[in-house]
Amino acid sequence: MTIPKESDFEIRIRPNQSWLRIDLRAIWEFRDLLVLLVRRDFVARYQQTALGPAWAIVQPLVMTIVFTLVFGKFAGISTDGLPPILFYLCSLLTWNYHAQTLQLTAGTFTTNAELFGKVYFPRLVVPLSIALSNLIGFLIQAAMLALFWCYYKFFTSAGASFGTDARALLFPLLLLHVAAVSVGSGLLIASCTAKYRDLQHVLPLVVQVWLYLTPVIYPLSKVPARWQWAVALNPLAPLLEMTRYLLLGRGEIHPGQYIYSVCISAFLLVAGVMIFQRTERTFIDTV
């Protein structure tokens, strides 16, 4: 009979020495926690509300109506020949996922300070759970868009002005790209917020300004040629246009802008993970 050694029962927790090394094995081992956090995030968002998950439909629908009246009817901003309801719903589908993921990820340290101080687990599980939980609201909103798409396509004269085909199957890759921008930006802000809490008050303003700098309420084709270089600096701009191209068949695609978006997104994600993992080592000591 072999007597187990004391070392066989040791579990050693060491700090991550690399800024960029992601312990995928540890994340997989804590997959049950990931599922619990996804459920917690989704339930907590609609807890003690009268409409519950229906807010995932009401909020974008109200914003769409406001955009249609203010920017479509009064301001006369073009929707690139698409029905305004479809144009804004499609734009908000991607934008809302980005905005919610960005803002919740940015609060990773401040919101989960007590949890981080009591239990060890890979801290990247939290922002990953945020990105996954927001997919539930995204799917609800996508179902609403599909209903309006079918109505305009088969029951109105506007059906000939838009459409889609097998290219819609590429949309999950586009959504993954959006998630990289949102999570990367959120991790950077979360790391800075751990020390400078003023960013909690600045972030809503940043998101609002970012909305108007992104072609959510206007098509990319209406941006003057002299400002196209500025559009290339916004990694979300070609992604919003690509969303409408894949789902509605209308959009102005510039390969160069999309390549810039890929490069900027990769930089944001890598830099966000690096600084986040650096900050997580000392965050508890500063709260």
pLDDT tens digits for range 122-148: 889 999 999 999 999 999 999 999 999
On whether residue 177 sits in a domain, the answer given is yes
On whether residue 3 sits in a domain, the answer given is no
Please work out, in degrees rounded to the nearest 5, the angle formed at the alpha carbon of residue 83 by the alpha carbons of 81 and 88.
Answer: 105
- How far is 284 from 287, CA to CA, in rounded Å? 6
* Contact by Cβ (8 Å): 273, 124: yes
For the chain, the farthest-separated pair of C-alpha atoms sits apart, in whole angstroms, at 85
Among 20, 72, 4, which residue's Cα sits nearest to residue 276? 20
- 140-154, 213-227, 233-247, 257-271, range with the lowest pLDDT: 213-227
On whether residue 24 sits in a domain, the answer given is no
> What type of residue sits at position 126?
V
pTM: 0.90
Range of the domain at 161: 29-286
On whether residue 261 sits in a domain, the answer given is yes
Q: Is the pLDDT of residue 218 over 70?
A: yes
Confidence of residue 286 (pLDDT cuts 50, 70, 90): low
Q: Per DSSP, which regions of the chain are E strands? A: none
- The residue-averaged pLDDT of 85-90 equals 95
Q: What H or E segment, with its residue span, contains residue 184?
A: helix 171-193
On whether residue 6 sits in a domain, the answer given is no
On whether residue 19 sits in a domain, the answer given is no
For 165, residues 6+ apart whose C-beta sits below 8 A from its C-beta are: 249
| pLDDT given for residue 20 in this prediction | 60
- How far is 33 from 16, CA to CA, in rounded Å? 20
On whether residue 14 sits in a domain, the answer given is no
- How far is 77 from 80, CA to CA, in rounded Å? 9
On whether residue 8 sits in a domain, the answer given is no
The number of folded domains in the chain is 1
Query: What is the overall mean pLDDT for the chain?
Result: 87
